[in-house]
Structure 1
Amino acid sequence: MNVSPVNDPLELLTNKGNRQASFLSPIWNPLTCTVAGFGLAIFVNWGFRKPVMSGIQKHIAFAAIGGGAGYYFDQKRNEYLAKRDAVLRHYIELHPEDFPVKDRKKYGDVLESWVPVR
């Protein structure tokens, strides 16, 4: 993957298809909350001193509620991040003087030469 240098601050807030989401990215939160809901049902049974897998309908219901909650929170998070990026992009468009384009520096220009002391 060839990554071009980012000189313009607006390029940081736009995704032009350079970054691909991982396989687990869209399902991570719902899957995690589903497992947590199932685990909560096991914990409730353990707390009431019942066999941990008794009442399988409770396990299914808790897992479904957990998956729904995970999906809801994932959507709310995406909504919040999109709104935040839109606000930042708009601010940068209105105030370009606060975000000058900087030249890229190489490590050789920034670091001092190293001389070993023996």
Structure 2
Amino acid sequence: MSAHLSAIDLLKLGDEDRKKPFLNQIWPYVIGVPFGIGSGIMMNFGTRRPIFSGIQKHILGVAGWCALLNYVQNKRNEYFAEKDAVYRHYVELHPEDFPIPERKKLADVFEPWVPIR
């Protein structure tokens, strides 16, 4: 990464290169499977049946929860993509509000340390 990047360069940085986090890709299934099985168990518990009877309820519950959470993830991605597009557009229209920051050394940021004994 170069030292002096403008704001628009920072917003565009890594769009192609950025890897999606592993948990972002699997969280609908990590949450959907236990919730689907749990919903089948709760339905059976509510009707006073053995908790794993009617395995189709558990399978449909897992499929339903995973589908719902995938839909939520897609809507979330669309929301953040639109939000990023609005930010990029604003920065492109108002570059004077986003000057390139001057580079500072760490010694300029920290105050001198004086030990108190």
TM-score normalised by the chain length of structure 2: 0.84
Cα distance, 1:42 vs structure 2: 1.5
Structure 2 runs not aligned, ≥5 long: none
Summarize the alignment of residues 29-108 of structure 1 with structure 2, pairs less than 5 Å apart: 29-108=28-107
* Cα separation, 1, equivalents of 2:57 and 2:77: 30
> 1:96 offset after TM fit, Å?
0.7
Could you tell me which residue of structure 1 aligns to residue 7 of structure 2?
A: 9
2:29·2:66 contact (CA, 8 Å) conserved in 1?
A: yes
| Letter matched to residue 50 of structure 1 | R
Which deviates the most, 83-92 or 34-43? 34-43
The C-alpha deviation readout for 1:46-97, integer Å capped at 9, x for no partner, is: 2333222111110001110001111111111111111110111001000111
SS in 2 for 1:61: helix
Q: 4+ residue runs of structure 1 moved beyond 6 angstroms?
A: none
Structure 2 CA distance for partners of 1:5 and 1:28, relative to 1, 3 Å: farther
SS of 2:100's equivalent in the other structure is coil
Task: Give TM-score scaled by structure 1 length.
Answer: 0.84
Gaps of 5+ in 1: none
Q: Contact 1:37/1:64 (CA < 8 Å) preserved in 2?
A: yes
Post-superposition offset of 1:29? 2.3
Which protein is richer in helix relative to its size? Answer: 2
Q: What is the aligned length?
A: 116
Residue 4 of structure 1 deviates from its aligned partner by 4.1
1:20 offset after TM fit, Å?
2.1
Aligned CA-pair RMSD: 1.9
Percent identity among equivalent residues?
47
